[in-house]
Chain A
Amino acid sequence: MNHPDRDDKKWRTLLELAAPTFAGATELPYGFVTSTMARVKAERAEREMTDRIGLRALFAALAVLAMAGGISFAVQLHDRLDFDPGTKSIIQEDHVSIS
């Protein structure tokens, strides 16, 4: 048979009995601060290194991009100065038929 009041009372009694086990710790466990600090420091160092590597990678990518831009600009400039930029090979120049 269902007894809502009795079951609610039972639940509350169980909670009251268990209440001390829900309370937060008043003292830090031995060595807790040291081990946490070690992890915090390690993570911070790792993050800083990732940031540094990230910055280096960004600078390297920018340098490559600038070089590629420079080269393509130089090629374009060269093409503009060329007499017939469309003719590039001797075969085309001499109208050699390719069979």
Chain B
Amino acid sequence: MDSLIDVADCLRRWKLGDESAAEELIRHLHPVISRIVRTNLPRRDHEDDVIQEILMKTFSRLHQYKGDAPLSHWVSRLALTTCLDRLRAQKIRPEVRWADLTPDEAQVFETAWLGSKTTDATAAIHARDLVDKLLSTLSPMDRSLILQADLEGRSLEEISDCTGWGISKIKMRLFRVRAQLRKAMLKLEEKK
């Protein structure tokens, strides 16, 4: 990713006060940050504001970047931490009730167990809102963990690199999170 632009040159120019270097860095880092924000925060959160906040943090802490890992990796960690901090500030729902679902979300839930897969953009948004509601019952770290495993398809080793946790701890935690999600979906069905 960093090979698309000369990051080292941009950083050097930025330190010398060249603003065009900052613009290049913003354009370069935006897709990376955007993907992390969209994955880790609910859809309705103010995405652009969060991305801007992460970019501001990036520029104010650039002097701490040693260059031993690609800049995009360093910024990814910063972005993930910011997202988790935001999630920590939000309240965790005790449960999702059937009455909490919109008719569209309820329909998506009904058809999902048949394994129906459509490419409809509207259905994707309803499914996302439903996924966000189910994820809102999890702690920020559990939420990040299940998305890394099930959505991004990361291996246990990759998750371990990212979280600093041991493989067995991750396995155990994923097992618990899946059980929690199953319970939440079961409750939804019961209370239809």
Contacts and interface: CB of A to CB of B under 8 A. Distances in A.
A56 interface: no
Given A11-B185, A13-B113, A39-B52, A18 B128 contact: yes
Contact of A18 (B23, B55, B124): B124
A78 interface: no
Given A19-B124, A32-B30, A41-B19, A13 B116 contact: yes
A40 B147 CA distance: 32
Contact of A7 (B22, B124, B186): B186
A26 B31 contact: yes
Contact of B48 (A10, A19, A23, A29): A29
Q: Per DSSP, are chain B's interface residues mostly helix, strand or loop, or mixed?
A: helix
Instruction: State which size class the interface on A falls in.
Output: 35 or more
B108 interface: yes
Interface of B: 19, 22-23, 26-27, 30-32, 34-36, 38-39, 43, 48, 51-52, 55-56, 59-60, 108-109, 112-113, 115-118, 121, 123-125, 127-128, 130-131, 134, 147, 150-151, 178, 181-182, 185-186
Interface of A: 2, 4, 6-26, 28-29, 32-33, 35-37, 39-41, 43-44, 47
B125 A36 contact: no
Contacts, number: 112
A12 to B, nearest CB: 7
B30 A15 contact: no
A20 B117 contact: no
Nearest to B114: A13
Given A19-B151, A25-B31, A36-B55, 12 more contacts: A6-B113, A17-B118, A18-B127, A20-B121, A24-B38, A28-B27, A29-B48, A33-B27, A37-B22, A37-B23, A40-B22, A43-B59
A64 B140 CA distance: 51
A51 to B, nearest CB: 13
